[in-house]
Structure 1
Amino acid sequence: MAWQMPDEPFVDPDPSSALETIIMPRTRDLGDGFEVRRALPSMRRRMVGPFIFFDQMGPAVFRSGHGLDVRPHPHIGLATVTYLFEGQVLHRDSLGTVQTIQPGAVNWMVAGRGITHSERTPPGLRASGGKLYGIQIWVAAPKTHEEIAPGFAHTPAEALPVVEDAGARVRVIAGGLYGARSPVSTLSELFYADAVLAAGARLQVRASHEERAAYVAEGLVELEGQTYGPGQLLIFRPGAEVVVTASAQAGGRVLLFGGEPMDGPRHIWWNFVSSSRERIEQAKEDWKSGRMAAVPGETDFIPLPEPEPSGVARYP
């Protein structure tokens, strides 16, 4: 997914609250009825730990003959992570990978010094029509790993650990949480989890990492007497004691994520992330000149945005 700076409103919590920031991203229509909610980066908070991009995809219902069509596009300096609640996405990349991702599984693609990929609805599902609902994030690479060789790993849903307690069911997508650790290999210490809460269930978000956040995907959750709904990103203060409670009527679903602060600021332009502005300029020229590897079997691609349209990311 290409990045544009969201223009969302913000809420400033009380200084004594466990919340540092509440972000309410605007919904954007990418065409064919497919909508995304972009929570990171935002005008006020660019990253949470190494997490630099957070999109909710859908939920969308495609008619027969329609589907997701993200043409080949490049990345550097990050890992893209796709996690679905419903539907399927067919991933192809310049390494020759062809992988269909299904609900609960994880596609973790390391861009390193450069990779190209496409994301589409699989042909069979496109013919019949169907739903698509999930999350795509980008994880910025540490400086020591920004220029490593690109790579791709698929982890099926059944390989991810699940922790259950008192009405809370937490699937650990990456990193470690609640005594469980995902087999997904990461480039830095972090946590990322999908928590489904029964009505009235309580969930402690431990202060084991300095930067933590919870994204409300479904239902309602309560914190410190306030109620938060779908699409809201709750960013917690370092060290704060946090317990979220699902609505007594509907329950809730939240994505938990975070980690330690990055080893310096990151620049983001279109699909490129780097600690160096010069490296991003090089990547722009490489893509424009056709020097980055193509996706085997695909001839179309997303061109470099020129001239830069309003809303395309610029350097901070």
Structure 2
Amino acid sequence: MLDLVIDARQASIGPGFDVRRILPFRQRRMVGPFIFMDHAGPVDVAPALMPDLDVLPHPHIGLSTVSYLFGGQVTHRDSLGVEQIIRPGEVNWMTAGSGIAHSERFEDPAALAGGALEMIQTWVALPEADEEGAPSFANYQPHELPIFTDTGVWMRLIAGDAFGLRNDVKTHSPLFYLHAVLQPGARFGLPRGHQERAVYVAKGEVEVGGHRYGPGQMLVFTPGIDPVIVARQASTLMLLGGEPLGERFIWWNFVSSRKERIEQAKADWQAGRILLPPNDNAEFVPLPEDKSRPASNGPSPAPQALS
């Protein structure tokens, strides 16, 4: 029933800002097209330390970043000139394609008060035909994301299609991504019609096949199996998956089906050929020291970005 259970690892985004990193994992690089997943927060810091949390301008290629908040707010700025504050229940979907740079700033003290900031960041790899497409950005408001409720179950479709729900979030390959909240005792399943499927437990505790799983664990399920997920506590889950795209290489913030393309992205960032956000260009993240070749199953510098 379960192919794998992934325990989140601690990763540092910046001084005093640690996250739980779920994907990529050494035994499971991707679930469907999802190649990266971080869970940040709840974050509670003094206002004087807020600048330390900012994620400075940095580059991406070959992927879409997906930002989703449980609480707080973040200001996104990118090299297209977009400036967008994202709040809980919204989706920021940025497609890097041939190359984009963006920053994420935490500029509202109230958004961090009392541990208010909590967010999920994922990367979705692009099909080969779209890897060199033009960069784009879209923000989707809560009313654009359908909600389903049943006894003890609330869920929002973030992207893709699942349980008969669809929305207008633009994706490049078949996938599903859901935020679900279960009350104690609620029983829940996985959407059918997708080859690879996983559940991340953000809060609470669930039982599957007689075993219990808690916060920070991702359950990756065997294709074709339809498990019953039982909430043993009030629980918050992220459900995700879709059709696999094939091998992808990941190095720092770059994803590609070709190793040589990642080498080109490194050179482009060092040479300034990936533009900085016009409204946030006074500082940036330099290319990290390259201690390894880009590899689908080897080490690489930790991503600087949350997204």
Q: Given the two structures, how large is their TM-score scaled by the length of structure 1? A: 0.89
Q: Given the two structures, how large is their TM-score scaled by the length of structure 2? A: 0.91
Q: Residue in 2 aligned with 1:273?
A: 255
Matches within 5 A, 1:170-189: 170-189=155-174
Could you tell me whether the CA contact under 8 Å between 2:140 and 2:169 is conserved in 1?
Answer: yes
Q: Residue in 1 aligned with 2:207?
A: 222
SS in 2 for 1:284: helix
SS in 1 for 2:171: coil
Paired with 1:66 and 1:152, the residues of 2 have a C-alpha distance of 29
Task: Kindly tell me the number of residue pairs found equivalent between the two proteins.
Answer: 294
- Per-residue CA deviations over 1:268-316 (Å, capped at 9, x if unaligned) read 00000000111110000000111111111221000001254996349xx
Question: 5+ residue gaps in structure 1?
Answer: 1-17
Structure 1 residues 118, 188: closer, same or farther in 2, change over 3 A?
A: same
Could you tell me whether the CA contact under 8 Å between 1:33 and 1:60 is conserved in 2?
Answer: no
Could you tell me whether the CA contact under 8 Å between 2:250 and 2:300 is conserved in 1?
Answer: no
Larger relative contact order (CA 8 Å, sep ≥ 6): 2
Q: Residue in 2 aligned with 1:19?
A: 2
Could you tell me whether the CA contact under 8 Å between 1:216 and 1:228 is conserved in 2?
Answer: yes
Paired with 2:276 and 2:119, the residues of 1 have a C-alpha distance of 26
SS in 2 for 1:265: coil
| Deviation larger for 302-311 or 69-78 | 302-311
Q: Verify: 1:156 aligned to 2:141, yes or no.
A: yes
Could you tell me whether the CA contact under 8 Å between 1:207 and 1:240 is conserved in 2?
Answer: no
Shift of 1:63: 1.3
Paired with 1:65 and 1:119, the residues of 2 have a C-alpha distance of 17
Q: 2:275 aligns with which of 284, 293, 298?
A: 293
- Amino acid of the residue matched to residue 64 of structure 1? P
Percent identity for Structure 1 against Structure 2: 52
Shift of 1:204: 1.0
Q: Residue in 2 aligned with 1:312?
A: 300
SS in 2 for 1:213: strand
SS in 2 for 1:273: strand
Structure 1 residues 149, 293: closer, same or farther in 2, change over 3 A?
A: same
Q: Residue in 2 aligned with 1:193?
A: 178
Matches within 5 A, 1:15-94: 18-67=1-50, 68-94=53-79
Could you tell me whether the CA contact under 8 Å between 1:65 and 1:127 is conserved in 2?
Answer: no
Structure 1 residues 128, 201: closer, same or farther in 2, change over 3 A?
A: closer
Paired with 1:306 and 1:220, the residues of 2 have a C-alpha distance of 40
- Amino acid of the residue matched to residue 169 of structure 1? W
Paired with 1:74 and 1:123, the residues of 2 have a C-alpha distance of 24
Could you tell me whether the CA contact under 8 Å between 2:101 and 2:274 is conserved in 1?
Answer: yes
Structure 1 residues 29, 271: closer, same or farther in 2, change over 3 A?
A: closer
Question: 5+ residue gaps in structure 2?
Answer: 293-297, 303-307
Paired with 2:289 and 2:17, the residues of 1 have a C-alpha distance of 24
Paired with 1:133 and 1:220, the residues of 2 have a C-alpha distance of 18
Could you tell me whether the CA contact under 8 Å between 1:63 and 1:130 is conserved in 2?
Answer: no
SS in 1 for 2:47: coil
Could you tell me whether the CA contact under 8 Å between 1:21 and 1:234 is conserved in 2?
Answer: yes
- Per-residue CA deviations over 1:137-174 (Å, capped at 9, x if unaligned) read 00000001000000000001222100111211110000
Could you tell me whether the CA contact under 8 Å between 2:91 and 2:140 is conserved in 1?
Answer: yes
SS in 1 for 2:237: strand
- Per-residue CA deviations over 1:154-203 (Å, capped at 9, x if unaligned) read 00122210011121111000011111112211011100000000111011
CA RMSD of aligned residues (A): 1.9
